[in-house]
Amino acid sequence: IDIVCHSSPRLLMQLADDEIDMTLATETATPNSAERLMADDLVWVGCRGGHAVNERPLPVSVTDGACIFRTAMLGALEQDQRDWRLIGPVGNNDAQLATLEADLAVTSLLRSTVPSHVSILPDNIGLPRMQPFHVNLYQRTSQTNDIANELTNHIREQFQRRFQAQASPMAR
């Protein structure tokens, strides 16, 4: 088993090219070709007790130009007419979290993925709300194999176990 971590658009291209057997993608909707495993709020995140959130223009950290969260963050800031500046791309999630811990920027993450050493910024801090996202499961439709099918079932079961008790943000 090889595990590949990239942006959702890149993973979906790899799946279409039959380079991978299945993928999880973070998207704003669930196409017919996918199975929605969960919906979650995209939230603003920053350093605990940090001040980057008060800077003008707002420093925003991104990992990858293809990241769909980048589009959501910057679109929300533009719609809110909030000045911002990019910090990065910082390369990967660990580097991005380091920019938050150092209070160099803010970013967005799915609520369920925010590590305990950074803070979800409160709604009253003045940052615009962002739309919820779906975590979608895609499988190769041709040349499937038993190992990939078993892994897919395991991932599905783990999402159900972990998130079944949580209320869907789509219902709010």
pLDDT digits 0-9 by tens, 109-134: 999 999 999 999 998 999 999 999 99
**3-class secondary structure per residue, 16-33:** HCCCCCEEEEEECCCCCC
Across 63-111, the runs of DSSP E, i.e. the strands, are 84-87, 107-110
| Nearest one of 27, 40, 42, 26 to 130, comparing CA atoms | 42
pLDDT of residue 145: 85
Regions of the chain where pLDDT drops below 50 = 165, 167-172
pLDDT of residue 50: 95
> Please, are residues 39 and 134 in contact by the beta-carbon 8 Å criterion?
yes
pLDDT of residue 95: 84
The most distant pair of C-alpha atoms in the chain lies apart, rounded to whole Å, by 53
pLDDT of residue 170: 43
Beta strands at 119-120 and 42-46: parallel, antiparallel or unpaired = antiparallel
pLDDT of residue 57: 97
pLDDT of residue 89: 67
What CA–CA distance (Å, rounded) separates 113 from 160? 16
pLDDT of residue 38: 95
